[in-house]
Amino acid sequence: MLEKFRAFAAAALFITLATFIAGTAMAQSKGGTRIVCWKDKAGKVVGCGDRVPPEYEDNATKELDRRGVTRKTTESAEVEAKRAAEDSKLAKQKEESTKQREEDKRRATLERRQEEALLATFANEKEIDLKRDRDVEVVDRQITQLQAAQKNAAERAEDLRNRILEGEKAKKPVSDFLRDEAARADSDRIKFEKGAAAKEKEKEDVRKRYAHMKQRYNELRGTSAPAPTAAAAPAKK
């Protein structure tokens, strides 16, 4: 019984809307040709007229001519906002994809140039080893200089601390200058110590870089070479 009532109500609403649209179309044929029908949130037509009521302005609409033929439709503000967000997302993805392709192309070009330079720079593996040894030697000299500076700073810091202690034991005033110098010498010691440690790391990086360079060189030349491994520390003399 309830289902029959609902069907009857739906049919009555359809007949009412159809009649209203037809009547509106006849009225518009005299003074104009624009008929607009507006929908509810569910997408169902709930009214027609020459203008959309304020409370339905954000809803979907369709525009009919005087014969009742649909000439134009609009989406609801909510649907348009979702569509705009989706379009923006797709545009961003396309832009990122384009940038990634360009970056991949740039990297491939750079890699090709580096490989060409590698083959043009060295005639054989021994030349690569000689260049590696020269670079390592430069870093070794820097390490030696930093270690010497560290030692000097440590000795100076110790001497200044002893002078401060002697003054304190003798109950003599110790100048701020002397304390500042001691602090500065200790700060220099730490700085040189960290610098030497960083250079040790740089030396290992140099060895690894040349090991990979030599492996790639052999691959480009079509010769076999063992995979690069951590270089063994040089024997102490």
Digit-coded pLDDT (tens) for 168-206: 998 889 899 999 999 999 999 999 999 999 999 999 999
120/196 same-domain check:
yes
pLDDT digits (tens, 9 = 90+) for 92-119: 999 999 999 999 999 999 999 999 999 9
Question: Do residues 163 and 216 share a domain?
Answer: yes
φ/ψ region of 175 (left if φ > 0, alpha if ψ in -120 to 50, else beta) reads: beta
Same domain, 131 and 46: no
Domain that holds residue 9: 2-78
> Do 217 and 120 fall into the same domain?
yes
Which of these, 194, 231, 237, lies nearest to 213 by C-alpha position? 231
Q: What is the mean pLDDT of the chain?
A: 82
Of 55, 78, 101, the last residue of a domain is 78
Query: Which of 78, 100, 133 corresponds to the end of one domain?
Result: 78
pTM above 0.85, yes or no: no
Helices 125-169, 176-221: crossing angle, 10 deg rounding: 170
The count of domains in the chain is: 2
227 domain-assigned: no
Classify residue 173: in a domain, yes or no: yes
Q: Are residues 64 and 123 in the same domain?
A: no
The reply to whether 199 and 128 lie within a common domain is: yes
Q: Domain for residue 154, yes or no?
A: yes
CA distances for 44 relative to 67, 150, 176, 203, angstroms: 21, 84, 88, 75
Query: Across the beta sheet with 45-49, what order do the strands follow?
Result: 45-49, 35-39, 61-64, 70-74
Give percent of the chain above pLDDT 70. 80
Cβ-contact 61, 73 below 8 angstroms = yes
Query: 157 lies in a domain?
Result: yes
pLDDT given at position 145: 97
What's the CA dihedral at 40, 44, 48, 54 to 10 degrees? 10
Is the same domain home to 70 and 128? Answer: no
Whether 41 maps to a domain, the answer reads yes
Q: Are residues 53 and 132 in the same domain?
A: no
The Cα 59–Cα 73 span in angstroms is 11
Report helix, strand or coil for 17.
helix
Is 68 inside a domain boundary?
yes
